[in-house]
Amino acid sequence: MAASSHSAMAFPGFKGCDASVLLDDTPNFTGEKNSFPNANSLRGFEVIDDIKSQLEDMCPGVVSCADILAVAASEAVGILGGQRWNVPLGRRDSTTASLSEANSDIPAPFLDLNGLISTFSKKGFTVEEMVTLSGAHTIGLVRCRFFRDRIYNETNIDPSFAAAMKEECPFDDGDDNLSPFDSKTPMSFDNAYYRNLVESKGLVHSDQQLFVDGSRRTNPQVIAYSKNFGRFKHDFANAMFKMSQLSPLTGYDGQIRTNCHFINPTTDEYRE
């Protein structure tokens, strides 16, 4: 999925790896798809639907949507040039979601460094892991509305890069125009994202906050990743393994959804 929020693969649901983000709104239930970071940004749901449909034909009620998301993230990174990680299975799917907590807990593209550190820390991630997981923006797309202020108003940006992005994102139009986070190699999982930051070519404000003048907390790690793809992909796989273990539902908690978009019909009430 492509996303405008920090890390296309991070924070798969505001509570954890429970597929709550896949739930559609209904007259009696409000999901997370229309939260500020997700609305008109998350894409690729049809890929998950296709996988789920085939699995339901082969082994009904066995593989959760949460497990599909976790495996798909690892496989996608591997296919695009990164390092796969082991994905323990057995998650169950959430029967709840929270629009308000998705709005507050998913890292926003306008956060400064302290805000990013705080948001990731709430989920148990270190500053180093935050820098690593931000590298998910080596792939994915972002809407114009989330980087317009940076390219028109910020000064710590390469002038030629800003000029090129203004062609893609007019000052007063094109909110939903999509541009890649990584303008160098947008379809490859590599370390160009970090090279962009060193060159002041981070597209959204929160990305460039990882590399700003005088920052001893994150600058050295960004420089190291910009020079050493092997180190980045190894660290990313480890951080994503930790992410995949974020508060999973197991045992009798949750359910195995038949359709990833909706709670199973036997559930009496959608709960928020």
Cα 252 to the center of its chain, rounded Å: 28
Binding residues for Ca(2+): 16, 18, 20, 32, 138, 182, 185, 190
Contact 7, 246 (CB under 8 A): no
The SS3 of residue 82 is: coil
Binding residues for substrate: 107
Binding residues: 16, 18, 20, 32, 107, 137-138, 182, 185, 190
Burial of residue 27 (number of CB atoms within 10 Å: 0-12, 13-18, 19+):
exposed
Residues ≥6 apart with Cβ < 8 Å to 180 = 139, 140, 141, 142, 186, 203
Contact 231, 225 (CB under 8 A): yes
- Please state, in angstroms and rounded to a whole number, the distance separating the CA atoms of residues 208 and 194: 9
- Please state, in angstroms and rounded to a whole number, the distance separating the CA atoms of residues 135 and 150: 19
- Please state, in angstroms and rounded to a whole number, the distance separating the CA atoms of residues 12 and 30: 17
Binding residues for heme b: 137
> Interhelix angle for 229-244 vs 219-227, to 10°?
120
Torsion, Cα 85 91 96 98, to 10 degrees, reads -20
